[in-house]
Structure 1
């Protein structure tokens, strides 16, 4: 089994997940900056073209970040980052879905369509006219989340979960590509500092972050 790894917020999130779990997996580096992930032989293994991907010993490849985490949590249940009961798992997945659908996907596409346009214009359909609206949606939903974080340590309550990893890596990336956190969001900012202080937050940063100026 090995992990296809690269620079970028989703690969970083997986490195953070592995660090929290205490799991070590051999890696193969994919050059995201030159779009190695968008062409064969990588797309022969993972036709979605995303990074990371996990290739199993039987040759099968899991190419979606959360699906990789689900697989690894089943193999290594402790410490639980999704949950130890049906209720905990449902709660973590609920928040993971809310965070991705309402915040992080808009943040990433806003980057691809604006500051990252030159990088992505030949890799996918880009919609520059949509970027300002997407950035506004991110800020709207962070205000919504700020209210819901009142009295909580983490997004799902007192448990650190995959929802925290996903949002933290996205917001840290966003802050480095002209989508900073609004300082008036006291609960979101306190939560961000709490997660930022975890050893996995620092250890998961790719070395290329220093040269690109982007947190990935």
Structure 2
């Protein structure tokens, strides 16, 4: 297998997932700033023109972060990052989805409609008139997670999961584009510091 990766929170999330699994996959970096992912030969690998992509030895490819992580979890179940039991998997997927809906999607669209507009307006449909509202939605999502986290060490419970890896990657990204944690997000700040101290956080940052 080979991983096509780049800058950005989604590629980092998959690299961190792979690192936490203890896997060592060959990696090809794709220059998304230059639009390498939006032209051939990359479009023959992933017609959607998005990163990351996992390419198998037979030349077929798997895209989308969820699909890649689910596949790697099934092939390499230890350590479990989605869950070792049906209950744990369901709980992890619940929080995974909540992080995606409440933070990842509005944060991404808010960035693309504002700071990232020049880069993305020729590549995908952007919403500049809604950028401020989308950013506010992401802030509200973070505040909701702040309240829900309580004293748990990790987002979905007592052990690290893909929900933590996803949220960490986007909080790191948000801090770079004006959508960082607010002063009141003290629990999330402590959680972030614990995540940032993991070896996988250091070795996966471009």
Taking structure 1 as the reference length, the TM-score comes to 0.92
- The CA distance in 2 between the partners of 1:26 and 1:185, in whole Å, is 37
1:48-127 map, 5 Å: 48-127=48-127
Q: CA deviation at 1:104?
A: 0.7
- The CA distance in 1 between the partners of 2:115 and 2:82, in whole Å, is 33
Q: Secondary structure at the match of 2:3?
A: strand
Say if 2:176 is the partner of 1:176.
yes
- The CA distance in 1 between the partners of 2:33 and 2:23, in whole Å, is 26
- The CA distance in 2 between the partners of 1:70 and 1:80, in whole Å, is 11
Q: CA deviation at 1:109?
A: 1.1
Q: CA deviation at 1:39?
A: 2.0
Give the equivalent residue in structure 2 for 1:3. Answer: 3
Q: CA deviation at 1:40?
A: 2.1
Q: Secondary structure at the match of 2:140?
A: helix
Q: Deviation digits for residues 30-49 of structure 1, max 9, x if unmatched?
A: 11111111222212221221
- The CA distance in 2 between the partners of 1:28 and 1:142, in whole Å, is 33
Q: Which has the higher contact order (CA 8 A, sep 6+)?
A: 1
Q: How many pairs are equivalent?
A: 206
Give the equivalent residue in structure 2 for 1:23. Answer: 23
Q: Secondary structure at the match of 1:62?
A: strand
1:113-152 map, 5 Å: 113-152=113-152
Q: CA deviation at 1:116?
A: 0.8
Q: Which runs of 5+ in 1 are unaligned?
A: 207-216
**Superposed structure 1 runs of 4+ greater than 4 Å apart:** none
Q: CA deviation at 1:164?
A: 0.4
Q: CA deviation at 1:114?
A: 0.4
Q: Secondary structure at the match of 1:173?
A: helix
- The CA distance in 2 between the partners of 1:185 and 1:29, in whole Å, is 34
Q: Deviation digits for residues 149-206 of structure 1, max 9, x if unmatched?
A: 0121010111100000001000111001111210111211111111111111111101
- The CA distance in 1 between the partners of 2:88 and 2:58, in whole Å, is 31
Taking structure 2 as the reference length, the TM-score comes to 0.97
- The CA distance in 1 between the partners of 2:135 and 2:7, in whole Å, is 22
